[in-house]
Amino acid sequence: MLEGLMIGLQTAINPFNLGMVVFGCIIGTFIGMLPGLGPMSIIAIMIPIAITLGDPTAALILLAGVYYGAIFGGSTSSILLNAPGVAGTVATSFDGYPMARKGQAGKALTIAAVSSFMGGTIGAVLLMVFAPMLSSVALLFHSAEYFALMVVGLSAIAAFAGTGQVGKAVMMTLLGLMMATVGEGALAAMPRFTAGILDLQSGFSFITLAMAMFALPEAMFLVMNPARSAQGGSDEDKSGTINNMRFSRAEGRAIAPVIGRQSVQGFFIGVLPGAGATIASFLGYAVERNLATKEEQAEFGKGSIKGLAAPETANNAACTGSFVPLLTLGIPGSGTTAILLGALLALNVTPGPRLMVDEPQVFWAVIISMYIGNLVLLVLNLPLIPYIAKVLSIPRNYLIPFILFFTLMGAYIGQNNSTELLILVGFGVIATILRFADYPLAPLLIGFILGTMLEDNFSRSMQLYQGLGFILERPMTLGLLVLAAFLVVLPTYRAARARNRAKGVADGD
Amino acid sequence: MKFTRRVMMTAAAAMVAFSGAAQADGHQVLDELHFLIPGGAGGGWDGTARGTGEALTEAGLVGSASYENMSGGGGGVAIAHMIENADSMGNTMMVNSTPIVIRSLTGVFPQSFRDLTLVAGTIGDYAALVVQSDSPITSMEDLLTTYRADATSFAIGGGSVPGGMDHLVAAMAMQAAGEDPTGFNYIPYDAGGAAMAGLLSGEIQALSTGFSEAVALAEQGEVRILGVTAPDRIAGSDAPTMMEQGVDVEFVNWRGFFAAPGLDEETVGNMRAAIAAMYETEEWEAVRARNGWVNIHNPGDEFEAFLENQEQVIGDLMRTLGFL
């Protein structure tokens, strides 16, 4: 392994390849900030450029840089504008955006940058040490376990089921799950609930719904709430003022264990070809919320630093983990890695068990470039954060049109289909009304994102086991489902008990 | 700062190549060509259109190429767009593949290839049935024996919906071997990669997939190809065909190009000429090799006969399977 490391280091450190990492990171970060252009489309755009380089190592290093940059760039728009461009950064906006509203945009971006860096770096160490052994881990999960894993991921909604909100959160989740059934499912060539509209054939697109549920209502709120649009803002809205870029030592200590746990957990979820960064971020969020103390738990969803660090660490670690099935088995676990696989094959590199033996310089150079890519991103972005965060101090009459343009473009750009804009505006109005009625919108989006995968894996298991037998026959499935029940029931029970006790005291009981 | 300049120059050169603004050198057939891609960036259709455009422009057969992704409705949105705006589509070619036949049969969209002008089929990929490399099944005969012994615990997976391409190929093989094509348990996955992971994890016993997807993993010793749907063994591969094992199945997943209905003969002729000339160029050979495509050229009338035959075969099978 040391020998391999040396080979990789030599390859990656040469000035041209270093230049490729920096170039890739910059391109990725800036394009990644635009919603609608996730890592997948940016990599697809960059592939012809990478292939002209001719050298597979340089090409892969460039693409890895673009990939990391795009993931990182995606969290910026989640934090600043509540506009998650890819599903993997939805959980980032849960606490990142509230922090920005409290005037902590700079701190939130710093925490995101540091968590991403740590997640990516620890992930790369795990990849380096364990990659050959992990190929069997990647094949451990069957559809039944993936189904159970999605159920665990769904438990992240508990964070939005605070006092008196349980019913509302459940309703929103169910609505999200229902919306995921629109269109032609992966398991039957039959359009469902499309009302004969051709544009709904492939279902609602993630980016349109994310913009409609998160970014658009925020912009509408800013327009409609005069207190907020007044100069200087009200007490609750200090997003224009950007103070404290850095987090304190105490805060650093608080998020350190979160980063440690989520790096490992996120990495292993990323290794599974049927899971990935999105599931990792929701699971990370749910798990860390349950591990937090009661006071910290109340902060989740309202600007908790732990709630921000958890998904940011987990999604980066998972992206690194997703290289395990790609490099050691030749199996792409996500759309992005499928495109990377195509690029590798185009460069005459066949990923699989023999890659490490046949072309060690490619394998090791990719891993080394992950370290370098993560480091470059951190170095590149930390000094830029004050400038990026200043976006929020733009006067509202300029900022709001900018956000609206941003969201409309995000919904349109992916599909080049103007119907997306109608869907966006329609759901944007509904979402704004729901927000006024104090319904949490995050559970809807979580339900929508997980719904398709939940349904696919569930019906596949049903078909393989000719019924529900898989729940009892597969111990790991049962274990995960019990864990999910535990994650949902325990906090609700604790909250109810706390409420009863408080009432008891008030009543003088 | 030598390397930064090199980076910039490489990037600039690549951008030029990417936008397809390469200069024509004498034998240019068309000034410009616009590719309509019915799916998103990065998919199979996208790669085919951009690869073809790249080869055509770099070889100087076409002056410049532009691309437009229009996803939705399983390709139906782009087809409808092409028909509605036929008058302004003089230099537009739409990429498509076998699913246009399947989806118009199932009525996903009301149009069929007959509503468009057929330019040419350009490339293709054969299908294959594969198992894990340590599976006791080593031939189609083994597969059928195992299936006959215990049909309920034998599942064949694929990366398409029931009634989709991977399912149809597996059903064709079963039917040709004298089995009930509706009898086996077909497990659908939403993508080829997920289906392959399902096979390697032992969830399914066999997988119906594209030959090009399977061959890379077969070379790595992860899977064994039981049978390919090609008429003869594919050059450079020792994978057996279905035919040589007595399973009479031939199937190709083609990709090709269509133009707007009612397009004048001259333009269509030029499009066909550009594509026909493309096969001789080294630029195309580079693109083809890079993507692992197989040249299957079906110009004009041959393309129509080919599509009609495929529609017949697939239609019959889907009626047997109860999808129509």
What are the residue ranges spanned by the domains of chain A?
Answer: 2-240+247-498
What is the three-class DSSP state of A184? strand
HSE-CB for B252 with a 13 A CA cutoff: 22
Q: Which letter, b or e, does each residue of A166-201 get, where b requires 16 or more Cβ atoms within 10 Å of its Cβ? A: bebbeebbebbbebbebbbbbbebebeebeeebbbb
CA distance A263 to A260: 5
Q: Do B11 and A143 touch (CB under 8 A)?
A: no
Nearest CA in chain B to A23: B7
Say whether residue B39 is in contact with chain A using an 8 A CB cutoff: no
Amino acid, single-letter form, for residue A445: L
A415 to B76: CB separation less than 8 angstroms, yes or no = no
Of A16, A41, A347, the CB nearest to B3: A16
Determine contact: A356 vs chain B, CB below 8 A: no
**Cα separation, A25 vs B7, whole angstroms:** 13
Instruction: Determine contact, residues A65/A369, Cβ cutoff 8 Å.
Output: yes
Residue A227 has pLDDT above 70, yes or no: no
Q: How far is CA A28 from the centre of its chain?
A: 16
Q: A48 vs B203: CB contact, 8 Å cut-off?
A: no
Average pLDDT of chain A?
84
| pLDDT over threshold 70, residue B26 | no
Domains of chain B: 28-123+253-319 (3.40.190.150), 125-251 (3.40.190.10)
Listed range (A23-37, A89-103, A142-156, B262-276) with the worst mean pLDDT = A23-37
Which pLDDT value is given to residue B42? 67
pLDDT tens-digit readout, A266-312? 999 999 988 888 999 999 998 998 888 888 888 888 899 999 999 99
Distance CA(B113)–CA(B117), nearest Å, equals: 8
Q: Are B214 and B127 in contact (CB under 8 A)?
A: no
The reply to whether residue B74 touches residue A338, judged by beta carbons under 8 angstroms, is no
**By CA distance, what is A274's nearest residue in B?**
B194
Q: Residue A91 in contact with residue A67, Cβ under 8 Å?
A: no
Is 60 exceeded by the pLDDT of residue B2?
no
pLDDT at A166 over 60: yes
State the pLDDT confidence band at A226, using cuts at 50, 70 and 90. Answer: low
Question: In this complex, do B197 and A414 lie within 8 Å of one another by their Cβ atoms?
Answer: no
Residues 415-434 of chain A whose Cβ lies under 8 A from any Cβ of chain B: 415-417, 419
Amino acid at B157: G
Is pLDDT above 80 for A231? Answer: no
More confident residue, A491 or B268: B268
Chain A partners within 8 Å of B198 (Cβ)? 142-143
Q: What is the largest CA-CA distance in chain A?
A: 78
Mean pLDDT lowest for which of B66-80, B153-167, B216-230?
Answer: B66-80
How many angstroms separate the CA atoms of A154 and A170, rounded?
Answer: 11
Cα B64–chain centre separation: 25
Cα angle B105, B109, B110 (rounded to 5 degrees) comes to 80
Type and span of the H or E element at B110: none
> Does the CB of A353 have a partner CB in chain B at under 8 Å?
yes
- pTM for the complete prediction? 0.85
Beta-carbon separation of B42 and A43 below 8 A? yes
Task: State whether A202 and B76 contact (CB < 8 Å).
Answer: no
- The mean pLDDT of chain B is 87
Quickly count: other Cβ atoms within 10 Å of residue A274's Cβ: 27
Helix, strand or coil, per DSSP, at residue B179: coil
Find residues 9-28 of chain B whose CB sits inside 8 Å of chain A: 10-11, 13-15, 17-18
Alpha-carbon distance A161 to A297, whole Å?
12
pLDDT value at B11 more than 70: no
Residue from A34, A198, A418 whose CB has the most chain B CBs within 10 Å, to mutate: A198
Q: Which residues fall within 8 angstroms of residue A99, CB to CB, at 6 or more apart?
A: A79, A105, A107, A108, A303, A305, A308
CB B65 within 8 A of CB B57: yes
Min mean pLDDT across A309-313, A399-403, B127-131, B316-320 is at A399-403
- How confident is the model over B150-209, as pLDDT tens digits? 888 899 999 888 888 999 999 999 999 999 998 899 999 987 788 999 999 999 999 999
Interface contact flag, B292 A199, Cβ < 8 Å: no
Interatomic CA distance for residues A318 and A263, integer angstroms: 8
pLDDT at B3 over 50: no
pLDDT of residue A385: 86
Taking an 8 Å cut-off on Cβ atoms, the answer to whether A350 and B161 are in contact is: no
CB contact under 8 A, B185 and A464: yes
